[in-house]
């Protein structure tokens, strides 16, 4: 799909979700990194209920680096996968405290070396807290982008590359937020196409329309007329 078309479609979605941004609560890059790690397989709303207590007790990497993962487990338990997440949080904090002077690094290469930090988490933190363009691709972005036809495939890194290639860097982060919100509110697994502003440009919607079109019965063949009248 042409870059201009992708940009126009994303602009259309932005009119439907004008204030799209991450729904995780944070005041700095470290807090967003912690919240994003906790958000794996968990709703942002539930993470936002857990993080105020966590940030009050462990406000920075040095504080979090000083505890054992088992100490965190009861606090982060409501977000699910609490043992793995506790290990990731403490490992991440120790790496930041020990190797980065306590500051969250601002490059994809450094972020993805931290325990528990993949490309999606790194992009969230880069784009929302560090002023570095990033386009996080989660399951919502994958679903919406594939349905509309502005990207193709189920590999998040490839979809990220395709979308970034069609959009200027300053639009990457907002595009991800917009697609995520669209996936949560409108283009759900069972999509609400009647409420969607980009249905005219959506491959999936057009395919649904073709399927719904009634199949006309084939015309019955006309019987050949007799020639010559009555005998």
Range 16-45, binding ligand SF4 (CB under 6 A): none
Q: Of 91-99, 127-135, 172-180, 199-207, which segment contacts ligand SF4 by CB under 6 A?
A: 199-207
Which residue, 24 or 148, is less far from ligand SF4 as judged by CB?
Answer: 148
Q: Of 95-103, 198-206, 210-218, 219-227, which segment contacts ligand SF4 by CB under 6 A?
A: 198-206
Which residue, 181 or 198, is less far from ligand SF4 as judged by CB?
Answer: 198
Sign for the CA dihedral angle at 97, 98, 100, 104 comes to negative
193 binds ligand SF4 (CB under 6 A): yes
Report yes or no: 65 and 97 within 8 Å, Cβ to Cβ: yes
- b vs e for 195-220, b when ≥16 Cβ sit within 10 Å of the residue's Cβ? ebebbebbebbeeeeeeeeeeeeeee
205 binds ligand SF4 (CB under 6 A): yes
List the one residue from 36, 39, 86, 199 that touches ligand SF4 (CB under 6 A).
199
> For residues 215 and 199, what is the distance between their CA atoms, to the nearest angstrom?
23
The footprint of ligand SF4 on this chain (CB under 6 A) covers a number of residues equal to 14
171 closest CA partner among 57, 3, 59: 3
10 binds ligand SF4 (CB under 6 A): no
Within 10 A of 186 (CB to CB), how many other CB atoms are there? 20
Report yes or no: 104 and 33 within 8 Å, Cβ to Cβ: yes
Query: What are the catalytic residues?
Result: 120, 138
Q: Sort 71 into a burial class: Cβ within 10 Å, 0-12 / 13-18 / 19+.
A: middle
Within 10 A of 190 (CB to CB), how many other CB atoms are there? 6
List the one residue from 42, 198, 219, 220 that touches ligand SF4 (CB under 6 A).
198
Range 124-153, binding ligand SF4 (CB under 6 A): 144, 147-148
Write each residue from 68 to 107 as x if it is in contact with ligand SF4 (CB under 6 A), else as -, in one continuous string.
----------------------------------------
> For residues 112 and 119, what is the distance between their CA atoms, to the nearest angstrom?
6
Which residue, 1 or 62, is less far from ligand SF4 as judged by CB?
Answer: 1
Could you list the residues that contact ligand SF4 (CB under 6 A)? 144, 147-148, 186-187, 191-193, 196, 198-199, 202, 204-205
């Amino acid at each position: 799909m042409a870059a201009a078309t992708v940009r126009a479609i994303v602009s259309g979605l932005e009119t439907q979700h004008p204030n799209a941004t991450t729904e995780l609560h944070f005041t700095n890059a470290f807090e967003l990194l912690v919240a994003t790690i906790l958000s794996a397989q968990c709703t942002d709303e539930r993470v936002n209920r857990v993080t105020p207590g966590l940030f009050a007790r462990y406000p920075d990497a040095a504080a979090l680096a000083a505890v054992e993962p088992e100490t965190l487990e009861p606090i982060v338990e409501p977000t699910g996968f609490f043992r793995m997440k506790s290990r990731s949080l403490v490992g991440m904090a120790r790496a930041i405290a020990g190797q980065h002077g306590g500051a969250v690094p601002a490059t994809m290469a450094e972020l993805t070396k931290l325990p528990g930090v993949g490309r999606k988490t790194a992009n969230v933190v880069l784009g929302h807290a560090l002023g570095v363009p990033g386009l996080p691709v989660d399951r919502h972005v994958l679903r919406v982008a594939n349905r509309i036809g502005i990207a193709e495939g189920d590999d998040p890194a490839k979809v990220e590359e395709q979308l970034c290639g069609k959009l200027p860097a300053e639009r990457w982060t907002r595009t991800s937020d917009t697609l995520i919100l669209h996936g949560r509110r409108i283009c759900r697994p069972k999509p609400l196409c009647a409420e969607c502003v980009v249905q005219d440009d959506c491959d999936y919607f057009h395919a649904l329309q073709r399927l719904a079109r009634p199949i006309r019965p084939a015309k019955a063949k006309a019987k050949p007329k007799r020639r010559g009248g009555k005998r």
